[in-house]
Amino acid sequence: MTETIRAPERIGLVGLGQMGAPMARNLARAGFGLAVADASAEAVRRLAADIPCETPADLKSLGAACRVVITMLPDGATVRRVALGAGEDCLAAGLARGSVVIDMSSSSPTGTRELGKALEARGITLLDAPVSGGVRKAVDGTLSIMAGGDPATIEAVRPVLEAMGKNVFATGPLGAGHAMKALNNYVSAAGFAAAAEAVLAGARFGIEPETIVTILNASTGRNNSTENKFPQFVLPRTFDAGFTVGLMVKDLRIALEVAQATKMPAPLAEVCLAEWAAAERELGGAADHTAALKHWERLAGSELPRKERG
């Protein structure tokens, strides 16, 4: 596809969870038409009561109604089932040749390339365009979007992506977006773990946790966790950033997959994954990822005091 997709073109969106629903709202706010679907009928009903959108009876019908369909789903296996399915009800059964599927989920890059080949055989182009920024940036439309795939197709759908994100990066060939997202989340997970250990060690030494975070943020140790997660979700112990421990562990496994596929030793990533996997076992995969602090508190044998969120 080289023709630029602009509002009021109808866009399909499958997956109306914590990220997908606000992304749909931003597409509607930008003037795009919408056809939506989700495994939860309640999620579809709730969105349809909030914004104008079509709710096709099945995935085949949704595909037939749109030239561009976005998937925002838990993992690549779910994306493949929605796109290709085991029977007639799948996007590919309805999509016309020349259509585009944009997978904005956090999927395996190798699986993405396999799905791309299968869709290409049907005349359908796949892009991977995962996001970073969490629920807050999904709501205000300032996500960072890492797009992989055919450059001309990325440019054609750029207005669609820019309705949901502030920064849209053409990352490289198909799968590069998913690889970049996993690598980003690895660095994020490592930063959180380092901050947790530093704050707990400093607190045990007698330094106030808020003082530690303030000094880190005025110094070279600052990172996204010290600047955002600790002040907003960790020190107040609300643990409600909107991204789960299970998803973090999934992305860490994908990051290791990328390293292993390139024969790149990644000993720090292996340790990082082991600790986050331990946090998942202790807390459950549905726990907010900022609650992983409790894993490091268990290792330390002490707990940070709660500070009211300012």
Question: Which pLDDT score is estimated for 184?
Answer: 93
Closest CA to 55 of 70, 42, 37: 37
The pLDDT value given to residue 136 = 87
Closest to 133 in 3D by CA, of 149, 145, 147: 145
> Per-10-residue mean pLDDT for the chain, 310 residues long?
90 96 97 96 96 95 97 94 87 96 94 96 97 91 96 97 96 96 96 98 97 98 97 96 92 94 95 98 97 97 82
Q: Do residues 245 and 287 lie in contact, with contact meaning Cβ atoms separated by under 8 Å?
A: yes
pLDDT for 174: 97
Does residue 181 have an active-site annotation? Answer: yes
**Residue 106: predicted pLDDT:** 87
199 vs 9: CA distance, rounded Å: 49
**Residue 86: what pLDDT?**
72
CA 157 vs CA 37, 70, 110, 149, 168: distances in Å: 20, 11, 23, 12, 11
pLDDT at 88: 74
Strand 143-148, strand 131-132: pairing: antiparallel
Domains of the chain: residue spans and CATH: 10-173 (3.40.50.720), 180-300 (1.10.1040.10)
Q: Catalytic pick from 60, 137, 166, 181?
A: 181
What's this model's pTM, rounded to 2 decimal places? 0.89
pLDDT computed for residue 309 by the predictor: 63
